[in-house]
A and B are shown apart, each in its own frame.
Chain A
Amino acid sequence: KAGVTQTPRYLIKTRGQQVTLSCSPISGHRSVSWYQQTPGQGLQFLFEYFSETQRNKGNFPGRFSGRQFSNSRSEMNVSTLELGDSALYLCASSTRQGGQPQHFGDGTRLSIL
């Protein structure tokens, strides 16, 4: 069974640009959650999508958005990038909404220059 797949693995952007990250959950998993991991703040919850609807959102500015498609794949978008957005972005999938993320992906390492 394939795991959670995140693309790309690495990304370098400059301030002011926007970026889109992709996450393909494990087959049959309908919930996708996104987390930001930084050395200073640790792992912080961004949002959760279930059945193409955002079900829960963390304390991040509106520059961070996402969506989920009918095949459960999810994308996360960050607009007007700031230096502080440099982080490892992790995606996790689960069979049900609002529960413990069961499987995490390897993450996308985003670096802002």
Chain B
Amino acid sequence: AQSVSQHNHHVILSEAASLELGCNYSYGGTVNLFWYVQYPGQHLQLLLKYFSGDPLVKGIKGFEAEFIKSKFSFNLRKPSVQWSDTAEYFCAVLNYGGSQGNLIFGKGTKLSVKP
């Protein structure tokens, strides 16, 4: 079964610092990867996704992620964080079984940005 690991449980940064959140997945074949964000009191929102092609994926709000197949990684990055980026971030992989599919999520990383 596929699994997703997010290494950092809680990250605390000051505004303008650079961000990198780690994500590793277990499956060695074709993967579809996602990052979701959950702002306090709000629903999960899709930040970005990778299906194929350019391994550097750009998402909303200045976020990007790099798919490195050899490392089974899909790390999320942002050059300069803002206080409004305080949220919980989830990495996910699409688990395929024929025509069926469901997301397998990592445990999440809480990001706190100090103003």
Q: List chain A positions with a Cβ less than 8 A from chain B.
A: 3-4, 33, 35, 42-45, 48, 55-56, 58, 90, 92, 97-102, 104-107
Contacts and interface: CB of A to CB of B under 8 A. Distances in A.
Given A100-B32, A100-B49, A45 B42 contact: no
Given A42-B106, A43-B92, A56-B97, 5 more contacts: A45-B102, A48-B100, A98-B102, A99-B101, A105-B43
B107 to A, nearest CB: 4
Contact of A98 (B43, B44, B101): B101
A56 B101 CA distance: 7
Given A42-B108, A56-B101, A97-B99, A90 B44 contact: yes
Given A90-B44, A104-B44, A98 B106 contact: no
A55 B103 CA distance: 14
Contacts of A56: 97, 100-102
Task: Give the residue among B45, B46, B100 with the most A Cβ atoms within 10 A.
Answer: B100
Contacts of A43: 90, 92, 103, 105, 108
Contacts of A35: 103, 105
A102 B43 CA distance: 12
Contacts of B87: none
Contact of B43 (A42, A44, A48, A107): A107
B103 A45 contact: yes
Contacts of B104: 45
Contact of A101 (B100, B103, B106): B103
A98 B103 contact: no
A42 B94 contact: no
25 contacts: A3-B43, A33-B102, A35-B103, A42-B106, A42-B107, A43-B92, A43-B103, A45-B95, A45-B102, A45-B103, A56-B100, A56-B102, A58-B102, A92-B44, A98-B99, A98-B101, A98-B102, A99-B94, A100-B34, A100-B46, A100-B49, A100-B94, A100-B101, A104-B43, A106-B43
